[in-house]
């Protein structure tokens, strides 16, 4: 009888990916290695989002003129979107266990840019944490590889 496990990704604003992977006659109880690799792929995409100002999600909304002027007055002129001090970019972290990988940000304002929920401010959505189709496929391949060689 085949056993299976479910690979699930949940990121706000991203359609959920849920994939059942069948395992034949193998005892698998520690997925920390492929979960670590998967979390690194996602964190690499976060880095790409910052470096390219959101190219993986279609590009972030440009800054308003008032924001550009304010950044220049405060000495941050010329800095990319969402990178005044670099604190937001550096705030991402992961926690990996044998059955779960958790990726988030320690920034108190990360959620305001990430969320799709109704807005009470004029702050545009600029997602940093996302799951591209390409990354989904790479992660699934990583789990298949792990299962095959375990």
- Cα-Cα-Cα-Cα dihedral of 39, 43, 45, 50, to 10°? 170
At residue 89, φ and ψ (nearest 5 deg) are -60, -40
Instruction: Identify the band that residue 109 occupies on the pLDDT scale cut at 50, 70 and 90.
Output: confident
Higher pLDDT, 144 or 117: 144
Q: What is the DSSP letter of 55?
A: G
CA 41 to CA 59: how far, in whole Å? Answer: 20
Instruction: Identify the band that residue 127 occupies on the pLDDT scale cut at 50, 70 and 90.
Output: very high
Average pLDDT of the chain, as a whole number: 83
Higher pLDDT, 91 or 14: 91
- Looking at 41-50, 60-69, 138-147, which range is the least confident one? 138-147
For residue 5, how far is the Cα from the chain centroid? 22
SS percent in the chain: helix, strand, coil, step 5: 40, 20, 40
Copy the structure tokens of residue 131. Answer: 């799951």
Burial (CB count <10 Å: 0-12, 13-18, 19+), residue 148: exposed
CA 75 to CA 33: how far, in whole Å? Answer: 43
pLDDT of residue 26: 54
Single pTM value for the model: 0.81
């Amino acid at each position: 009888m085949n056993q299976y496990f479910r690979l699930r990704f949940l990121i706000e604003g991203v359609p959920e990916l849920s994939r059942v992977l069948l395992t034949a006659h193998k005892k698998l109880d520690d997925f920390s290695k492929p979960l670590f690799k998967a979390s690194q792929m996602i964190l690499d995409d976060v880095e790409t989002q910052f470096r390219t100002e959101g190219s993986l999600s279609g590009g972030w909304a440009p800054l308003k003129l008032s924001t550009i002027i304010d950044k220049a007055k405060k000495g941050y002129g010329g800095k990319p979107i969402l990178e005044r001090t670099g604190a937001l970019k550096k705030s991402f972290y992961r926690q990996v266990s044998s059955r779960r990988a958790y990726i988030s940000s320690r920034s108190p304002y990360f959620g305001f840019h990430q969320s799709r929920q109704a807005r009470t401010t004029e702050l545009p959505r600029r997602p940093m944490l996302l799951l591209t189709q390409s990354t989904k496929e790479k992660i699934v391949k990583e789990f298949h590889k792990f299962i095959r060689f375990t």
